[in-house]
Protein backbone atom coordinates (compact mmCIF):
# COMPACT_ATOMS: atom_id res chain seq x y z
CA UNK A 1 0.00 0.00 0.00
CA UNK A 2 1.23 3.50 -0.85
CA UNK A 3 2.34 5.89 1.88
CA UNK A 4 0.11 8.71 3.05
CA UNK A 5 -0.15 11.85 0.88
CA UNK A 6 2.33 14.62 1.58
CA UNK A 7 -0.43 16.85 3.00
CA UNK A 8 -0.58 16.76 6.80
CA UNK A 9 -4.37 17.01 6.81
CA UNK A 10 -6.27 13.76 6.16
CA UNK A 11 -9.22 13.65 3.77
CA UNK A 12 -12.34 13.87 5.95
CA UNK A 13 -14.95 11.26 5.01
CA UNK A 14 -18.70 11.03 5.42
CA UNK A 15 -20.12 7.55 4.80
CA UNK A 16 -23.71 7.12 3.61
CA UNK A 17 -25.07 3.71 4.58
CA UNK A 18 -24.05 1.27 7.27
CA UNK A 19 -25.47 -1.94 5.87
CA UNK A 20 -23.31 -4.81 4.62
CA UNK A 21 -21.09 -2.78 2.29
CA UNK A 22 -20.64 0.17 4.63
CA UNK A 23 -20.11 -1.86 7.79
CA UNK A 24 -17.98 -4.71 6.41
CA UNK A 25 -15.94 -2.97 3.72
CA UNK A 26 -15.94 0.83 3.63
CA UNK A 27 -15.76 1.82 7.29
CA UNK A 28 -12.95 -0.62 8.28
CA UNK A 29 -10.92 0.10 5.14
CA UNK A 30 -11.23 3.87 5.58
CA UNK A 31 -10.29 3.63 9.26
CA UNK A 32 -7.18 1.59 8.42
CA UNK A 33 -5.97 3.63 5.41
CA UNK A 34 -3.37 6.38 5.49
CA UNK A 35 -4.33 9.94 4.60
CA UNK A 36 -8.06 9.52 5.14
CA UNK A 37 -10.31 9.73 8.21
CA UNK A 38 -13.90 8.70 8.90
CA UNK A 39 -15.72 11.69 10.43
CA UNK A 40 -19.43 10.88 10.21
CA UNK A 41 -21.90 8.24 9.01
CA UNK A 42 -25.47 8.64 7.78
CA UNK A 43 -27.44 5.71 9.12
CA UNK A 44 -30.81 4.82 10.62
CA UNK A 45 -28.94 2.54 13.07
CA UNK A 46 -26.73 4.87 15.14
CA UNK A 47 -26.13 2.20 17.78
CA UNK A 48 -24.51 -0.09 15.19
CA UNK A 49 -22.14 2.67 14.10
CA UNK A 50 -21.15 3.66 17.63
CA UNK A 51 -20.53 0.05 18.59
CA UNK A 52 -17.52 -0.02 16.28
CA UNK A 53 -16.70 3.70 15.91
CA UNK A 54 -17.52 5.44 19.17
CA UNK A 55 -15.98 8.77 18.15
CA UNK A 56 -17.72 9.03 14.78
CA UNK A 57 -20.74 11.33 14.43
CA UNK A 58 -24.01 9.87 13.15
CA UNK A 59 -26.42 11.77 10.92
CA UNK A 60 -29.99 10.49 10.48
CA UNK A 61 -30.18 11.42 6.78
CA UNK A 62 -27.83 11.56 3.78
CA UNK A 63 -28.80 15.21 3.24
CA UNK A 64 -27.60 16.08 6.72
CA UNK A 65 -24.28 14.36 6.10
CA UNK A 66 -23.76 16.02 2.72
CA UNK A 67 -24.45 19.45 4.26
CA UNK A 68 -21.69 19.14 6.88
CA UNK A 69 -18.80 21.60 6.51
CA UNK A 70 -16.27 19.19 8.01
CA UNK A 71 -16.57 16.62 5.21
CA UNK A 72 -14.37 16.56 2.09
CA UNK A 73 -15.41 13.20 0.63
CA UNK A 74 -18.80 11.47 0.56
CA UNK A 75 -18.70 7.67 0.28
CA UNK A 76 -21.99 6.17 -0.91
CA UNK A 77 -22.69 2.62 0.28
CA UNK A 78 -26.48 2.70 0.16
CA UNK A 79 -28.81 0.51 -1.99
CA UNK A 80 -28.02 0.55 -5.70
CA UNK A 81 -31.01 2.61 -6.81
CA UNK A 82 -29.86 5.54 -4.64
CA UNK A 83 -26.25 5.65 -5.87
CA UNK A 84 -26.64 8.09 -8.76
CA UNK A 85 -29.04 10.57 -7.06
CA UNK A 86 -26.90 10.75 -3.93
CA UNK A 87 -23.70 11.10 -5.98
CA UNK A 88 -25.16 14.03 -7.93
CA UNK A 89 -26.35 15.70 -4.73
CA UNK A 90 -22.94 15.36 -3.08
CA UNK A 91 -21.10 16.64 -6.16
CA UNK A 92 -23.45 19.62 -6.43
CA UNK A 93 -22.63 20.38 -2.78
CA UNK A 94 -18.94 20.55 -3.68
CA UNK A 95 -17.89 17.21 -2.21
CA UNK A 96 -15.61 14.61 -3.71
CA UNK A 97 -17.45 11.30 -4.17
CA UNK A 98 -16.77 7.57 -3.95
CA UNK A 99 -19.68 5.39 -5.05
CA UNK A 100 -20.02 1.69 -4.42
CA UNK A 101 -20.53 -0.43 -7.50
CA UNK A 102 -22.59 -0.23 -9.63
CA UNK A 103 -22.54 3.55 -9.53
CA UNK A 104 -25.78 3.82 -11.51
CA UNK A 105 -28.60 1.67 -12.87
CA UNK A 106 -28.11 2.58 -16.52
CA UNK A 107 -25.44 3.92 -18.82
CA UNK A 108 -27.26 7.23 -19.30
CA UNK A 109 -27.60 7.66 -15.53
CA UNK A 110 -23.88 6.90 -15.16
CA UNK A 111 -23.08 9.56 -17.76
CA UNK A 112 -25.14 12.09 -15.80
CA UNK A 113 -23.05 11.43 -12.68
CA UNK A 114 -19.82 11.81 -14.66
CA UNK A 115 -21.09 15.11 -16.09
CA UNK A 116 -21.95 16.32 -12.58
CA UNK A 117 -18.39 15.58 -11.46
CA UNK A 118 -17.00 17.49 -14.44
CA UNK A 119 -19.18 20.51 -13.68
CA UNK A 120 -18.27 20.46 -10.00
CA UNK A 121 -14.56 19.92 -10.61
CA UNK A 122 -14.52 17.19 -7.98
CA UNK A 123 -13.13 13.68 -7.86
CA UNK A 124 -15.50 10.82 -8.70
CA UNK A 125 -14.29 7.26 -8.09
CA UNK A 126 -16.14 3.96 -8.04
CA UNK A 127 -15.37 1.29 -5.44
CA UNK A 128 -14.11 -1.49 -7.69
CA UNK A 129 -12.23 -2.94 -4.74
CA UNK A 130 -11.70 -6.39 -6.27
CA UNK A 131 -8.84 -5.01 -8.35
CA UNK A 132 -6.78 -5.39 -5.16
CA UNK A 133 -7.70 -9.01 -4.40
CA UNK A 134 -4.90 -11.57 -4.08
CA UNK A 135 -6.42 -13.98 -6.61
CA UNK A 136 -6.80 -11.34 -9.31
CA UNK A 137 -3.41 -9.72 -8.66
CA UNK A 138 -1.68 -13.12 -8.85
CA UNK A 139 -3.42 -14.18 -12.06
CA UNK A 140 -2.86 -10.77 -13.61
CA UNK A 141 0.85 -10.90 -12.85
CA UNK A 142 1.11 -14.37 -14.39
CA UNK A 143 -0.69 -13.24 -17.56
CA UNK A 144 1.51 -10.15 -17.86
CA UNK A 145 4.64 -12.30 -17.44
CA UNK A 146 3.39 -14.52 -20.26
CA UNK A 147 3.46 -17.67 -18.12
CA UNK A 148 0.64 -19.23 -20.16
CA UNK A 149 1.55 -17.55 -23.44
CA UNK A 150 -1.17 -15.60 -25.20
CA UNK A 151 -4.46 -16.18 -23.38
CA UNK A 152 -7.20 -17.36 -25.73
CA UNK A 153 -9.80 -18.53 -23.18
CA UNK A 154 -10.37 -16.88 -19.80
CA UNK A 155 -12.93 -17.77 -17.14
CA UNK A 156 -13.82 -15.78 -14.04
CA UNK A 157 -16.30 -17.21 -11.53
CA UNK A 158 -17.95 -15.55 -8.55
CA UNK A 159 -19.91 -18.50 -7.20
CA UNK A 160 -21.62 -18.83 -3.82
CA UNK A 161 -23.93 -21.32 -2.15
CA UNK A 162 -26.95 -19.50 -0.78
CA UNK A 163 -29.92 -21.73 -1.67
CA UNK A 164 -32.40 -19.81 0.51
CA UNK A 165 -33.81 -16.60 -0.95
CA UNK A 166 -33.52 -13.74 1.54
CA UNK A 167 -35.77 -10.69 1.84
CA UNK A 168 -33.23 -7.99 1.10
CA UNK A 169 -32.92 -5.39 -1.64
CA UNK A 170 -30.07 -7.23 -3.37
CA UNK A 171 -32.41 -10.16 -4.09
CA UNK A 172 -35.50 -8.21 -5.11
CA UNK A 173 -36.59 -7.48 -8.67
CA UNK A 174 -35.88 -3.99 -9.97
CA UNK A 175 -33.90 -1.18 -8.41
CA UNK A 176 -30.52 -2.69 -9.18
CA UNK A 177 -31.24 -6.02 -7.51
CA UNK A 178 -30.04 -9.37 -8.80
CA UNK A 179 -26.68 -11.02 -9.19
CA UNK A 180 -25.76 -9.28 -12.47
CA UNK A 181 -25.84 -5.89 -10.73
CA UNK A 182 -24.33 -7.26 -7.51
CA UNK A 183 -21.44 -9.51 -8.57
CA UNK A 184 -21.35 -8.74 -12.29
CA UNK A 185 -19.48 -5.43 -11.80
CA UNK A 186 -16.61 -7.24 -10.04
CA UNK A 187 -16.27 -9.79 -12.84
CA UNK A 188 -16.60 -7.18 -15.58
CA UNK A 189 -14.16 -4.66 -14.11
CA UNK A 190 -11.46 -7.30 -13.69
CA UNK A 191 -11.97 -8.51 -17.27
CA UNK A 192 -11.74 -4.98 -18.67
CA UNK A 193 -8.58 -4.35 -16.66
CA UNK A 194 -7.01 -7.43 -18.21
CA UNK A 195 -8.25 -7.30 -21.79
CA UNK A 196 -9.92 -3.96 -22.52
CA UNK A 197 -13.28 -3.46 -24.22
CA UNK A 198 -14.91 -6.46 -25.92
CA UNK A 199 -16.46 -6.28 -29.37
CA UNK A 200 -19.81 -7.77 -28.29
CA UNK A 201 -21.40 -9.40 -25.25
CA UNK A 202 -23.48 -12.55 -25.05
CA UNK A 203 -25.32 -13.20 -21.80
CA UNK A 204 -27.95 -15.30 -20.10
CA UNK A 205 -29.51 -14.24 -16.79
CA UNK A 206 -31.88 -16.46 -14.81
CA UNK A 207 -33.65 -16.87 -11.47
CA UNK A 208 -32.99 -20.53 -10.61
CA UNK A 209 -33.65 -20.82 -6.88
CA UNK A 210 -37.19 -21.63 -5.75
CA UNK A 211 -38.89 -18.35 -4.87
CA UNK A 212 -36.23 -16.14 -6.47
CA UNK A 213 -37.52 -12.71 -7.53
CA UNK A 214 -34.38 -11.52 -9.29
CA UNK A 215 -31.63 -13.13 -11.33
CA UNK A 216 -29.41 -15.35 -9.18
CA UNK A 217 -27.46 -16.92 -12.06
CA UNK A 218 -25.51 -15.04 -14.72
CA UNK A 219 -23.35 -16.28 -17.56
CA UNK A 220 -21.73 -13.88 -20.02
CA UNK A 221 -19.26 -14.29 -22.86
CA UNK A 222 -17.19 -11.28 -23.90
CA UNK A 223 -16.01 -11.55 -27.51
CA UNK A 224 -12.55 -10.31 -28.48
CA UNK A 225 -10.86 -10.85 -31.84
CA UNK A 226 -8.41 -13.42 -30.46
CA UNK A 227 -10.05 -14.65 -27.23
CA UNK A 228 -13.24 -15.39 -25.39
CA UNK A 229 -13.81 -14.29 -21.79
CA UNK A 230 -16.43 -16.12 -19.73
CA UNK A 231 -17.93 -14.43 -16.67
CA UNK A 232 -20.10 -16.53 -14.38
CA UNK A 233 -21.91 -15.94 -11.09
CA UNK A 234 -24.24 -18.26 -9.22
CA UNK A 235 -25.97 -18.60 -5.86
CA UNK A 236 -26.22 -22.38 -6.21
CA UNK A 237 -22.57 -23.45 -6.37
CA UNK A 238 -21.52 -25.34 -3.25
CA UNK A 239 -18.03 -26.03 -4.59
CA UNK A 240 -15.90 -27.43 -7.37
CA UNK A 241 -15.60 -24.36 -9.61
CA UNK A 242 -12.32 -22.49 -9.91
CA UNK A 243 -12.16 -18.74 -9.33
CA UNK A 244 -10.00 -18.18 -12.42
CA UNK A 245 -8.99 -20.31 -15.40
CA UNK A 246 -6.84 -19.06 -18.27
CA UNK A 247 -5.93 -21.26 -21.25
CA UNK A 248 -3.14 -19.93 -23.41
CA UNK A 249 -0.75 -20.89 -26.17
CA UNK A 250 1.87 -22.13 -23.65
CA UNK A 251 -0.28 -23.57 -20.88
CA UNK A 252 -3.16 -23.09 -18.47
CA UNK A 253 -3.46 -21.07 -15.26
CA UNK A 254 -5.84 -22.24 -12.53
CA UNK A 255 -6.63 -20.36 -9.31
CA UNK A 256 -9.06 -22.40 -7.29
CA UNK A 257 -9.96 -20.22 -4.33
CA UNK A 258 -10.83 -16.54 -4.12
CA UNK A 259 -9.37 -13.72 -2.08
CA UNK A 260 -9.88 -13.89 1.69
CA UNK A 261 -10.18 -10.21 2.63
CA UNK A 262 -13.98 -10.28 2.83
CA UNK A 263 -13.84 -13.30 5.14
CA UNK A 264 -11.15 -11.61 7.22
CA UNK A 265 -13.25 -8.45 7.55
CA UNK A 266 -16.28 -10.50 8.58
CA UNK A 267 -14.15 -12.20 11.21
CA UNK A 268 -13.20 -8.80 12.63
CA UNK A 269 -9.62 -8.60 11.38
CA UNK A 270 -8.28 -5.07 11.18
CA UNK A 271 -6.99 -4.32 7.66
CA UNK A 272 -3.20 -4.32 7.72
CA UNK A 273 -2.92 -6.73 10.67
CA UNK A 274 -0.58 -9.72 10.43
CA UNK A 275 -1.86 -12.06 7.73
CA UNK A 276 -4.09 -9.44 6.09
CA UNK A 277 -4.69 -10.23 2.40
CA UNK A 278 -2.33 -13.20 2.42
CA UNK A 279 -3.19 -16.13 0.17
CA UNK A 280 -2.20 -19.76 0.78
CA UNK A 281 -4.18 -21.20 -2.13
CA UNK A 282 -1.73 -22.03 -4.94
CA UNK A 283 -1.84 -20.58 -8.42
CA UNK A 284 -1.03 -23.47 -10.73
CA UNK A 285 0.46 -23.43 -14.20
CA UNK A 286 -0.23 -26.54 -16.27
CA UNK A 287 1.85 -27.28 -19.32
CA UNK A 288 1.97 -30.29 -21.60
CA UNK A 289 4.45 -32.20 -19.48
CA UNK A 290 4.34 -30.63 -15.99
CA UNK A 291 2.49 -28.60 -13.39
CA UNK A 292 4.07 -26.05 -11.08
CA UNK A 293 2.98 -23.36 -8.66
CA UNK A 294 3.55 -19.67 -9.33
CA UNK A 295 4.24 -16.76 -6.97
CA UNK A 296 1.26 -15.25 -5.18
CA UNK A 297 0.61 -11.55 -4.63
CA UNK A 298 -0.99 -10.48 -1.34
CA UNK A 299 -4.20 -8.49 -1.63
CA UNK A 300 -4.86 -5.15 0.04
CA UNK A 301 -8.08 -3.26 -0.70
CA UNK A 302 -6.81 -0.34 1.39
CA UNK A 303 -4.89 0.58 -1.76
CA UNK A 304 -8.11 1.99 -3.19
CA UNK A 305 -8.67 4.46 -0.36
CA UNK A 306 -5.02 5.41 -0.13
CA UNK A 307 -5.22 6.15 -3.87
CA UNK A 308 -8.32 8.28 -3.36
CA UNK A 309 -6.49 10.30 -0.71
CA UNK A 310 -3.54 10.84 -3.08
CA UNK A 311 -5.86 11.85 -5.93
CA UNK A 312 -7.72 14.42 -3.80
CA UNK A 313 -4.43 15.89 -2.53
CA UNK A 314 -3.10 16.08 -6.11
CA UNK A 315 -0.24 13.65 -5.52
CA UNK A 316 -1.55 10.69 -7.53
CA UNK A 317 -4.10 9.49 -10.08
CA UNK A 318 -7.69 8.51 -9.44
CA UNK A 319 -7.53 4.76 -8.65
CA UNK A 320 -10.77 4.11 -10.59
CA UNK A 321 -11.42 6.93 -13.09
CA UNK A 322 -15.05 7.51 -14.11
CA UNK A 323 -14.48 6.32 -17.69
CA UNK A 324 -13.49 2.88 -16.40
CA UNK A 325 -16.63 2.62 -14.29
CA UNK A 326 -18.67 3.88 -17.26
CA UNK A 327 -17.26 1.03 -19.36
CA UNK A 328 -18.37 -1.46 -16.70
CA UNK A 329 -21.87 0.00 -16.89
CA UNK A 330 -21.82 -0.38 -20.67
CA UNK A 331 -21.09 -4.11 -20.32
CA UNK A 332 -23.80 -4.50 -17.65
CA UNK A 333 -26.32 -2.85 -19.97
CA UNK A 334 -25.16 -4.89 -22.97
CA UNK A 335 -25.54 -8.06 -20.90
CA UNK A 336 -29.11 -7.15 -19.94
CA UNK A 337 -29.99 -6.54 -23.59
CA UNK A 338 -28.18 -9.67 -24.78
CA UNK A 339 -30.04 -11.83 -22.28
CA UNK A 340 -33.43 -10.31 -23.11
CA UNK A 341 -32.95 -10.40 -26.90
CA UNK A 342 -30.90 -13.61 -27.03
CA UNK A 343 -28.33 -12.08 -29.33
CA UNK A 344 -24.78 -10.74 -29.11
CA UNK A 345 -24.84 -7.03 -28.23
CA UNK A 346 -22.15 -4.37 -28.75
CA UNK A 347 -21.28 -1.80 -26.10
CA UNK A 348 -23.23 1.46 -26.38
CA UNK A 349 -20.16 3.65 -25.91
CA UNK A 350 -19.44 6.71 -28.04
CA UNK A 351 -16.20 6.99 -30.03
CA UNK A 352 -15.03 9.64 -27.56
CA UNK A 353 -15.71 7.37 -24.58
CA UNK A 354 -13.86 4.50 -26.24
CA UNK A 355 -10.92 6.78 -26.95
CA UNK A 356 -10.84 7.97 -23.31
CA UNK A 357 -10.84 4.39 -22.09
CA UNK A 358 -7.98 3.50 -24.46
CA UNK A 359 -5.95 6.52 -23.36
CA UNK A 360 -6.35 5.48 -19.74
CA UNK A 361 -5.14 1.96 -20.48
CA UNK A 362 -2.07 3.27 -22.28
CA UNK A 363 -1.33 5.68 -19.44
CA UNK A 364 -1.41 2.83 -16.93
CA UNK A 365 0.84 0.62 -19.08
CA UNK A 366 -1.91 -1.68 -20.35
CA UNK A 367 -2.32 -2.66 -23.99
How many alpha carbons fall within 13 Å on the CB side of residue 331? 32
Strand order from edge to edge, sheet including 36-42: 57-59, 36-42, 11-16, 73-76, 96-100, 124-127
The per-residue pLDDT for 2 is 60
- Look up residue 21 and give its DSSP letter: I
All domains in the chain, ordered by first residue: 11-130+304-319 (3.40.50.720), 134-298+329-363 (3.30.360.10)
Q: At what angle do helices 184-195 and 134-145 cross, to 10 degrees?
A: 20
The per-residue pLDDT for 365 is 74
The per-residue pLDDT for 278 is 97
Beta strands in the chain (DSSP E): 11-16, 36-42, 57-59, 73-76, 96-100, 124-127, 151-159, 200-206, 217-224, 227-234, 244-248, 252-255, 283-287, 290-294, 345-346
> Beta 252-255 vs 244-248: how paired, if at all?
antiparallel
Grouping H, G, I as helix, E, B as strand and the rest as coil, residue 154 is strand
3-state secondary structure 262-279: HHHHHCCCCCCCCCCCCC
10/194 Cα distance (integer angstroms): 32
pLDDT, mean of each 10-residue run, the chain (367 residues): 66 97 98 97 95 95 98 97 97 98 96 98 98 98 98 97 90 89 97 98 97 96 98 95 97 97 97 97 96 97 98 97 97 98 97 95 75
Amino acid sequence: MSAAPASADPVRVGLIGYGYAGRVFHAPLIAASDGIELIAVASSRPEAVRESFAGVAVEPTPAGLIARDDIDLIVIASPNDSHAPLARAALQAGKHVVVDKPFALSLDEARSVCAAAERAGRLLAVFHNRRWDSDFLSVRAAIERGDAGQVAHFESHFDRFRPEVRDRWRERAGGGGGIWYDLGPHLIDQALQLFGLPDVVEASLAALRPGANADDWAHAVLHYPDRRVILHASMLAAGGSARFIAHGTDGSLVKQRGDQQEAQLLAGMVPGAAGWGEDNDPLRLYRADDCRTLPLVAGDQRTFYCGVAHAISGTGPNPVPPIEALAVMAVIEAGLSASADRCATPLDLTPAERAMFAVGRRASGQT
